[in-house]
Amino acid sequence: MKIKVTGGHSFCPGVDRAIRITEDALTEKGNTTYSTGPLIHNPEVVSRLEMLGLKVLDPAGDHPDVNGANVIIRSHGIDIETEDKFRLQGAVLVDATCPTVKWAQEAARELAESGCRVIVLGSESHPEVRSIVGRAGAPVTVIQNTDDAHRWADDEGHRGSRVGIVCQTTVSRNLLDSVTPIIEACAGRVEVRDTICESVTRRRRESVELARSVDLMIVVGGRNSSNTTHLAEICREAGVTTRHIEDSSEIQAEWLSEVESVGVTGGASTPDWQIDETVARLEEITGA
């Protein structure tokens, strides 16, 4: 059985940066280090960081005294209100926000300040989107799909308005391309800030190309990761059987029955070692 792995399968630059910042903070002696929610959407990686001493906080819930402690702003960023709350409590904030996410935050704020009605394309419940909305400084509409876009455009109060569009960094370019004309047909002027992460886009393109050349595709990464989940979805849409796993132990021998080739890829928050473990597990099962 042939095992093929995509080229760009390790941490994306933003996640790699957040991990390094956190590991550096954890080396400081005598200083407790927290993160504002899971640092990234990969349970195994977060668990390893917790073993090194990282403590994960619920930004919206109760938490211990953080006065003088390191508080890592996770890769998805946080809203201004939450940031101010931690500052008032005496936390030493360490900003590990992905630079591309920060770009999206700034784009939303600039568009709002220029007088645009701001639309964010993405999932309203995603922490990244919440951080973009919470740093815009003005009301923001979140649109998740074309149905949402049509509902927005059907509102007479939006006719002829100036609109600014910002993207959650991990949404598909197809979503931006399909929503923009709907908004343009209603608005007087539309300014689009394409804040989609090129690293994520490239990873999807490479994964789809690989999926079309194999009998089975295995996508490795957190099930709570939107970009990894979408990666699995588009591999299925390419017409190949696809399995989304968080850990190599999930691979079942029956998946490989009558399979001559397997493709392996990982999400933006999937480290090299999880890909290596997946390949090793496949080789163990098949005797390769």
Residue boundaries of the structural domains of the chain:
2-10+198-286, 13-98, 100-193
The phi and psi torsions of 185 (rounded to 5 degrees) equal: -70, -20
The architecture that CATH gives domain 13-98 is 3-Layer(aba) Sandwich (3.40)
pLDDT attached to residue 9 = 67
**pTM beyond 0.85, yes or no:** yes
**Which CATH number applies to 2-10+198-286?**
3.40.1010.20
Low-confidence ranges of the chain (pLDDT < 50): none
Identify whether 44 is a catalytic site residue: no
Please name every residue paired with 34 in a beta bridge, in sequence order, or none if there are none. 55, 71
Fold matches, 2-10+198-286 and 13-98: no
pLDDT attached to residue 207 = 95
SS3 48: helix
CATH class entry, domain 100-193? alpha beta
CB neighbour class for 237 (10 Å; exposed up to 12, middle 13-18, buried from 19): exposed
Considering only the C-alpha atoms of the chain, give the largest distance between any 2 of them, rounded to a whole number of Å. Answer: 64
SS3 190: strand
Which residues lie below 8 Å from residue 188, measured CB to CB, with a gap of 6+? 159, 160, 161, 162
Candidates 128, 184, 246, 284; catalytic one: 128
Confirm if 197 and 230 have CB atoms less than 8 A apart.
no
The phi and psi torsions of 66 (rounded to 5 degrees) equal: -110, 10
| Triad 170, 122, 114: Cα angle to 5° | 105
Q: pLDDT by residue (tens digit) across 138-177?
A: 999 999 999 999 999 999 999 999 999 999 999 999 999 9
pLDDT attached to residue 94 = 96
pLDDT attached to residue 288 = 62
Q: pLDDT by residue (tens digit) across 47-64?
A: 999 999 999 998 777 888
